[in-house]
């Protein structure tokens, strides 16, 4: 079973920041949080991952709460091409990635 | 960065035939590979986990005699759908990891249509 929960859908205006929340209250202290996105009929694309500290790369920022029970993926300037399903995931035992429903982000002009 | 190549991207086959899908890690050695299936408008469902040189571990409800997985080397895993039927039509995706902490890379997926 997925250890994360996300809202099923979100809208964002083009050019604005998209903030996608994820709850992962049951993950243990050494389990990473990964974010992927999937555009229709393609394989999931890696975005970012983190353990305790906030992370930033060329695609996004990841803010993890101090208690590690939740995190937020931030796309600083969303474009139409960012429309996709975003998955927040934490590996299970055996390093398996089990996907939940994800958040369908719709970026609107 | 890590690249996983999945082939073919699309295949149409007749009912009763077998189909093989390949998943290759191009620039790293994958200790573990995963196979997923995705139906329209649904999330990815893990089918099985395979480690190089050992038998795959199948998720509950996945028929191991129908979905044959071979992980013969650290860079190649194959999924064979044996005696495919229309209900096996789906989007199949592989993933590979060197170590969980190094991240997971996904293939581009294979659209299987059984007619």
How does pLDDT run along chain B (115 residues), one tens digit per residue?
789 999 999 999 999 999 999 999 998 898 899 999 999 989 999 999 998 888 899 999 999 999 999 988 889 999 999 999 999 999 999 999 987 566 899 999 999 999 9
Please, what sign has the CA dihedral across residues A21, A26, A30, A34?
Answer: negative
Contact yes or no for B109 and A96 at CB 8 A = no
Q: For B15-69, give the DSSP string.
A: TT--EEEEEEESSS--SEEEEEEE-TTS--EEEEEEETTS--EEPTT--TTTEEE
Inform me whether the pLDDT recorded for A102 exceeds 90.
yes
Neighbours of B25 (CB within 10 A): 25
pLDDT at B83: 96
Q: Give the pLDDT confidence of B17-42 residue by residue, as tens digits.
A: 999 999 999 988 988 999 999 999 89
- In this structure, what token pair is assigned to residue A5? 């929960």
Please tell me the distance in Å from A48's CA to the nearest CA on chain B.
9
Rounded CA-CA distance A30/A52 in Å is 9
Rounded CA-CA distance B77/B84 in Å is 19
- In this structure, what token pair is assigned to residue B71? 């992980």
Contact yes or no for B104 and A101 at CB 8 A = no
Q: Which residue has the tokens 């101090």?
A: A66
- Chain A residue numbers with beta carbons less than 8 Å from the beta carbon of B108 are 42-43
pLDDT at B25: 93
Inform me whether the pLDDT recorded for A95 exceeds 80.
no
What are the backbone dihedrals phi and psi of residue B100, each rounded to the nearest 5 degrees, phi first? Answer: -50, -35
């Amino acid at each position: 079973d997925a250890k994360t929960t996300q809202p099923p859908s979100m809208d964002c205006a083009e050019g604005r920041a998209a903030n996608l929340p994820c709850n992962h209250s049951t993950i243990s202290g050494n389990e990473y949080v990964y974010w992927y996105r999937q555009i229709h009929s393609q394989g999931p694309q890696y975005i970012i991952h983190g353990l305790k500290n906030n992370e930033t790369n060329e695609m996004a920022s990841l803010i993890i709460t101090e208690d590690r029970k939740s995190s937020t993926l931030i796309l600083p300037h969303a474009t139409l091409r960012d429309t996709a399903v975003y998955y927040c995931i934490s590996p299970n035992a055996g390093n398996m990635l089990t996907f939940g429903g994800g958040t369908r982000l719709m970026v609107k002009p | 960065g890590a690249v996983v190549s999945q082939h073919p991207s699309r295949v149409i086959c007749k009912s009763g035939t077998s189909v093989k899908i390949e998943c290759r890690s191009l620039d790293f050695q994958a200790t573990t590979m995963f196979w997923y299936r995705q139906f329209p408008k649904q999330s990815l469902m893990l089918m099985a986990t395979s480690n190089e040189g050992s038998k795959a571990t199948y998720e509950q409800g996945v028929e191991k005699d129908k979905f044959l997985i071979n992980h013969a080397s650290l860079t190649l895993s194959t999924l064979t759908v044996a005696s495919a039927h229309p209900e096996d039509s789906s989007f199949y995706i592989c993933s590979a990891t060197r170590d969980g902490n190094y991240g997971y890379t996904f293939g581009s997926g294979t659209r299987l249509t059984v007619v």
